[in-house]
Amino acid sequence: MSDDHQHGGTVDHDHLIDWREHGVKIIPGDSLDPNTAQTPGMNRAAAINRARAGAEKIWAGTVIIDANAKTGAHHHGDLESIIYVVKGRARMRWGDKLEYVAEAGPGDFIFVPPYVPHQEINASRDEVLQCVVVRSGQEPIVVNLDIEPVEKPEGVLWKDPIHK
């Protein structure tokens, strides 16, 4: 093992790191920060960000989406997003005219690449949708788009390239 990874907490040979202060952080689920961008019908709360945990490259939090609620068409600039469905049914629409649609349920992951026009929808008319969201940056980038969804989006099964 190199000197950089010994228990002494050195990053280089001249600087010690206080691992107690700058090590692992536990963010209790009942202490998330609701002071983040909100959308009507959706409750977002930050868990991991620069201010709360010292994160530099990622943001993570939760979103609870009311029954039958949906966002407008938007994208998140150059950020990548991952959504993990905890409870409920998520419907995603995407494309230049939101012409594609797929659904995800508990245990499913959703990946949204940079600049992809999309819309998030709670597919249930009577149950909340609970998700964990992770983004590849700290800035709450949301670019709203003036897109009218097509009447009948094309159904697309969510399968990654490895499992066609």
- The pair phi, psi for residue 99, each rounded to 5°, is -80, -10
Dihedral sign, CA of 116, 117, 122, 128?
Answer: positive
pTM of the model: 0.79
> Could you state, in order of their start, the residue ranges of all structural domains in the chain?
27-163
- Buried b / exposed e across 127-145, counting CB within 10 Å, b at 16+? eebbbebbbebbeeeeeee
Tens of pLDDT along 141-162?
A: 888 888 876 534 455 555 545 4
Rounded to whole angstroms, the Cα distance separating 93 from 76 reads 15
Q: What is the DSSP letter of 156?
A: -
Strands (E), the chain: 42-48, 59-65, 74-75, 81-87, 90-94, 100-104, 109-112, 118-122, 129-135, 143-144, 154-155
Structure confidence by residue, pLDDT tens digits, 95-133: 999 999 999 999 999 999 999 999 999 999 899 999 999
CB atoms within 10 A of CB 114: 13
Per the prediction, the chain carries an average pLDDT of 83
Q: What is the mean pLDDT of residues 20-32?
A: 85
Q: How far is CA 51 from the centre of its chain?
A: 18
Options 3.40.50.170, 3.30.420.610, 1.20.970.10, 2.60.120.10; CATH for 27-163 is: 2.60.120.10
pLDDT in tens, 62-100: 999 998 888 888 999 999 999 999 999 999 999 999 999
